[in-house]
Amino acid sequence: MRALKKLTVLCLGVLSLTSCKSDDPEIVMQSSDPLKVTVQPVFGGEDLLLDSTYQTPEGYDIQFTDIKFYLQDVRSGLNLLKDVALFDYRLRGTSMIERTGDVVNYPNLQMNLGVGASVNHNDPVGFDPNSWLYISNANDMHWDWNPGYIFVKIEAKVDTIQDGIALFDHNVVFHIGKDENLKTLSFTDINWINIGSGYYFPLKLDMLHFLNNGTSSIDVKTEYTSHTMAGQEVISAKVMDNFKEALTPF
Amino acid sequence: MKYLLLLFIIITVALSCKKDKVEHVPTPYELKIPSHFPVMQIPEDNPMTVEGVALGRKLFYEKKLSGDNSMSCAGCHAPSSAFSDPNQFSEGIDGVTGTRNSMVLVNVGWNNFFFWDGRAKTLEEQILIPVEDPIEMHDDWTDVMSTLRSDVTYKNLFFEAFNTTDIDSTHAAKAIAQFIRTMISGSSKYDVMYKAENNLPLSASEQIIYATVTPEETAGYDLFKSLNGADCFHCHNGPLMQVQKFSNNGLDATFSDNGRGDVTGNPSDFGKFKVPTLRNIEYSGPYMHDGRFSTLEEVIEHYSSGIQMSSTIDPLIEFASQGGVQLDAYEKDLIKQFLLTLTDETFINNPDFQEPQ
C-alpha cells in the first residue's frame, strides 16, 4: 500500500511536471524581408543605356530605344514569388520584381518568359487592376485577345552605312508573342544578396550576347523586324531563344 | 450648493446655445464606364462626388477664371469641336496665340500624363496651369479664388462639394478634374466593332449599330491594324485608341518645337509628343501638336508619303525610310471611313457636358 502511494505521488509529480511544459509546436521563423529581382541590361561589359550608341558584332552602330518583357508564374516549386512581372527599362529602370517574403523559400526560380497560354488570351480588362496584365498597365504590350500579349519587345535604330556619318535610319522592331514562342527560364542555387534592408537577385540582360551568343546571331541589317506574323516564325523563334540565353544571373 | 446648481445651469444653457456646426457629406458619383474599358484610377484625395462634378462643370464654363472675364476652359475645349479648338492655335485673352493645338478632352481620366509634352503628371496639376498662363487665361489663382469666394452661389457649391468654406485653387482644380473624368466616350461605332471583334456581348442597340458597319469600314479597320498596311495600331489601339507614350511621328526633319525634350532635357526626346486618342477625330481637327493638318486626308497623306526622318523618329514608323506606308487612293479612303467610325455623337451632344444653365 505504501509503495502504491509512492507510485501515485511519483506519477502525479511527473504528470504535473509535464503538464507544466508549454506547448512546443514546430517553430517557424517566418520573415518577410523585402525581396527584389532586378535586371540590368548590359552590352558586353558595360551597362546599357537607351538611346546610346553601341556597336553590333557586324560593326553597325546601334541605339536601343525600348526593352520590355514579361516574366510570369515566377516560383520556386510550390512557392510563388510573383504571378506576373513586366520589365520596362525606360519607365522603371532595372526593377523587375519587388515583394516581401522569406528568402529561404526561393533557393531556385522557374518562370515563363512571356505569358502562359492559360491567361494569354483572357480579356485584359478582366485582370486585377494592379496586375501587369491589366490593360492599362500592359499598355502597348497587349495586341488583342488573340494573339494576346507581346512577350518580348525590343526596339532599336541602326546606322547600317559605315561611312562615319551617324544616320540611324534603319529601324529594328521585334515584337514577339504567341503561345508557341513562350519560353521557360530556370535559375538554380540562387545567391540572394543580403543588402541589410532585404535581399535581391540581380539578373543581367546582355544585348551583345542577344545579337550573337556564339551559336546564334542576329544581323540587324537583314533581320530587323518581327511582329510574330506568318512568315516571321524563324526570326521570332530566334529572338526568343537568344533573349533567353542573354538573360542570366549577374 | 446653490452656487453649484447655478453654475451647472449656466454651463448647460451655454452649451445648449452653441451653434451646431453645419456639415455636408457629398454624394458619391458613380462613373458610367463602358464594359470594355479599364477601370479609371481616381486619386484618393479627390473622390468623385455629384456635387464636385456639378461644381467642376460650372467652373469649366466659367469666364471669371480668366483675367478679363472673357474666357473659360471651354473657350479652347469647345463641345462642338470634340472639346478641342477648331483653330490651329488658341488665342489667349491678350490676343496672343500659342504654338500648340488644343488637345481634345475625351477619356482623359485614363491618361497618365497631360499636355502634348507631358509636363503635368496629374489632371489636377494640369488644370491649374492655363488659368495663369499669360498666353491663355492670364489670371491669378489668388484673384480667381477671391472672386469665387465672394460669390454666394460658388461659396455654397464649394461647400457642398468639399464640406469646407476654406477653399483655394486646389479645390477648383479638383472639381474641374472630377467633371473632366466624367467625359467618357465609349459609344461609337468603333466600340461596337471592337466588342464584336473580341467576342464581347453586344446589347440590342449595339447589334443594330453593328449591322450598319459597312464592308469599307471593316476593310479600313483591317488596314488600320495591318503591319503591311497603314500600321496605325501600334500607337492607336484598344478601347482608348491610344497608348500612353511619347512619339516622334515623323513630322519634321528638324524641330522648331522640342516637345517632350524640353521637359526632360534629353536630346533623345526631342520632337516627341504625347500620342493622342483618335476618338472623335472627325470633329477634333486641326491635327497634330501644332495643328498643321486641317483635314483627315492630310493626316493620312502624312503617314502614307510625308514621313520625315530624324534622329528621334519612332522605330515603329517602320516604313519611314520610304517616306511612309505608301497607301493608294482606295486605301486612304478606307482608312478615312474607318476613322469616322470613331465619332461618338452621344458623347459630343451629351447634355451633362454642356454649359449649365
CATH code: domain of residue B272: 1.10.760.10
What pLDDT, on the 0 to 100 scale, is given for residue B252? 97
- Asked if residue B166 and residue B258 are part of one domain, the reply reads no
Query: Is residue B31 domain-resident?
Result: no
Q: Which DSSP symbol is given to B15?
A: H
Best interface-test mutation with B: which of A66, A136, A150 has the largest number of B CBs within 10 A? A136
Chain B within 8 Å of A145 (Cβ-Cβ)? yes
Considering only CB atoms, B37 lies closest to which of A51, A125, A168, namely A125
Question: Are A168 and B311 an interchain contact pair (Cβ–Cβ within 8 Å)?
Answer: yes
Report, as an integer, the average pLDDT of A94-118: 96
Average pLDDT, chain A: 89
Query: What number is the ipTM of this complex?
Result: 0.81
Question: To the nearest whole angstrom, how far is the Cα of A110 from the nearest Cα of chain B?
Answer: 31
Query: Is residue A160 domain-resident?
Result: yes
Question: Are A171 and B244 an interchain contact pair (Cβ–Cβ within 8 Å)?
Answer: no
Query: Is residue B43 domain-resident?
Result: no
What pLDDT, on the 0 to 100 scale, is given for residue A4? 53
* pLDDT > 90: percent of chain A: 78
Report, as an integer, the average pLDDT of A37-50: 97
Chain B within 8 Å of A224 (Cβ-Cβ)? no
Q: Looking at the predicted structure, is the pLDDT value of residue A27 above 50?
A: no
- Asked if residue B148 and residue B218 are part of one domain, the reply reads no
Instruction: Tell which wins on pLDDT, A62 or A168.
Output: A62
Residue of A nearest to B316 (CA): A173
Query: Is residue A18 domain-resident?
Result: no
Q: Please list the residues that pair with A170 across neighbouring strands.
A: A158
Distance between CA B35 and CA B147 in Å, rounded? Answer: 41
Question: Are A171 and B268 an interchain contact pair (Cβ–Cβ within 8 Å)?
Answer: no
Considering only CB atoms, B198 lies closest to which of A140, A145, A227, namely A145
Q: By the 8 A CB rule, do A205 and A41 touch? A: yes
Q: Looking at the predicted structure, is the pLDDT value of residue A78 above 80?
A: yes
Query: Is residue A14 domain-resident?
Result: no
Query: Where does a domain end: B184, B219, B250?
Result: B184
Considering only CB atoms, A172 lies closest to which of B239, B244, B315, namely B315
User: Which pairs from B328-336 meet CB under 8 Å and 24+ separation?
Assistant: B331/B223, B331/B229, B331/B230, B332/B297, B332/B300, B332/B301, B332/B304, B333/B216, B334/B216, B334/B219, B334/B220, B334/B223, B335/B220, B335/B223, B335/B224, B335/B230, B335/B232, B335/B300, B336/B220, B336/B296, B336/B297, B336/B300
Question: Are B243 and A139 an interchain contact pair (Cβ–Cβ within 8 Å)?
Answer: yes
Considering only CB atoms, B321 lies closest to which of A134, A142, A169, namely A169
Considering only CB atoms, B315 lies closest to which of A139, A144, A156, namely A156
Residue of A nearest to B268 (CA): A51
Strands A33-43 and A199-206: what pairing? parallel
- Asked if residue B247 and residue B109 are part of one domain, the reply reads no
Report, as an integer, the average pLDDT of A183-198: 95
Three-class DSSP category at B164: coil
Query: Which residues in chain B are closer than 8 Å to A128, comparing Cβ atoms?
Result: none
Considering only CB atoms, A139 lies closest to which of B198, B244, B309, namely B244
Cα B325 from chain centroid?
A: 30
Best interface-test mutation with B: which of A64, A173, A175, A232 has the largest number of B CBs within 10 A? A173
Query: Which residues in chain B are closer than 8 Å to A125, comparing Cβ atoms?
Result: 36-38
Query: Is residue B6 domain-resident?
Result: no
- Asked if residue B72 and residue B59 are part of one domain, the reply reads yes
| Count of structural domains, chain B | 2
CA dist list (Å): A205 to A20, A151, A161, A215, A216: 59, 15, 27, 17, 16
Query: Is residue B295 domain-resident?
Result: yes
User: What's the farthest any 2 CA atoms get from each other in chain A?
Assistant: 113
Question: Are A125 and B36 an interchain contact pair (Cβ–Cβ within 8 Å)?
Answer: yes
pLDDT digits (tens), chain B, 357 positions: 566 666 666 666 555 555 556 788 999 999 999 999 999 999 999 999 999 999 999 999 999 999 999 999 999 999 989 999 999 999 999 999 999 999 999 999 999 999 999 999 999 999 999 999 999 999 999 999 999 999 999 999 999 999 999 999 999 999 999 999 999 999 999 999 999 999 899 999 999 999 999 999 999 999 999 988 999 999 999 999 999 999 999 999 999 999 999 999 999 999 999 999 999 999 999 999 999 999 999 999 999 999 999 989 998 998 888 899 999 999 999 999 999 999 999 999 999 999 998
- Asked if residue B175 and residue B88 are part of one domain, the reply reads yes
Chain A within 8 Å of B268 (Cβ-Cβ)? yes
| Count of structural domains, chain A | 1
Omega before residue B286 within 30° of 0, cis: yes
Question: Are A169 and B309 an interchain contact pair (Cβ–Cβ within 8 Å)?
Answer: yes
Chain A within 8 Å of B243 (Cβ-Cβ)? yes
Cα B98 from chain centroid?
A: 18
Q: Which DSSP symbol is given to B293?
A: B
Query: Is residue B256 domain-resident?
Result: yes
Name the residue range of residue A174's domain: 40-249
Question: To the nearest whole angstrom, how far is the Cα of B263 from the nearest Cα of chain A?
Answer: 15
Q: By the 8 A CB rule, do A67 and A231 touch? A: no
Instruction: Tell which wins on pLDDT, A239 or B357.
Output: A239
- Asked if residue B142 and residue B201 are part of one domain, the reply reads no
Distance between CA A214 and CA A210 in Å, rounded? Answer: 10
Query: Is residue B141 domain-resident?
Result: yes
Chain A within 8 Å of B37 (Cβ-Cβ)? yes
Interchain CB contacts (distance < 8 Å): A and B: 62
Query: Is residue A27 domain-resident?
Result: no
Q: Find residues 315-334 of chain B whose CB sits inside 8 Å of chain A.
A: 315-318, 320-321
Name the residue range of residue B217's domain: 189-347
Considering only CB atoms, B245 lies closest to which of A123, A125, A140, namely A140
- Asked if residue B243 and residue B148 are part of one domain, the reply reads no
Q: Which DSSP symbol is given to B114?
A: B
The model carries a pTM of 0.86
Residue A32 pLDDT level (bands cut at 50, 70, 90): confident
Residue A160 pLDDT level (bands cut at 50, 70, 90): confident
Q: Looking at the predicted structure, is the pLDDT value of residue A28 above 90?
A: no
- Asked if residue B108 and residue B63 are part of one domain, the reply reads yes
- Asked if residue B235 and residue B121 are part of one domain, the reply reads no
- Among B168, B157, B91, residue whose Cα is nearest residue B130: B91
Residue of A nearest to B236 (CA): A140
Query: Is residue B197 domain-resident?
Result: yes
Query: Is residue B41 domain-resident?
Result: no
In the 3-class helix/strand/coil scheme, how is B43-106 assigned residue by residue? CCCCCCEHHHHHHHHHHHCCHHHCCCCCCCHHHCCEHHHCCECCCCCCECCCCCECCCCCCCCC
Question: Are A129 and B41 an interchain contact pair (Cβ–Cβ within 8 Å)?
Answer: yes
Distance between CA A238 and CA A228 in Å, rounded? Answer: 11
Distance between CA B274 and CA B284 in Å, rounded? Answer: 16
Query: Where does a domain end: B184, B211, B238?
Result: B184
- Asked if residue B206 and residue B321 are part of one domain, the reply reads yes
Question: Are B198 and A170 an interchain contact pair (Cβ–Cβ within 8 Å)?
Answer: no
Residue of B nearest to A123 (CA): B198
Calculate the CA dihedral of residues B290, B274, B176, A134 and round it to 10 degrees. 160
Query: Is residue A33 domain-resident?
Result: no
Distance between CA A194 and CA A33 in Å, rounded? Answer: 10
Question: Are A169 and B243 an interchain contact pair (Cβ–Cβ within 8 Å)?
Answer: no
- Asked if residue B343 and residue B194 are part of one domain, the reply reads yes
- Asked if residue B163 and residue B148 are part of one domain, the reply reads yes
**Cβ-based burial of B156 (10 A; exposed 0-12, middle 13-18, buried ≥19):** middle
Residue A220 pLDDT level (bands cut at 50, 70, 90): very high
Query: Where does a domain end: B137, B165, B184?
Result: B184
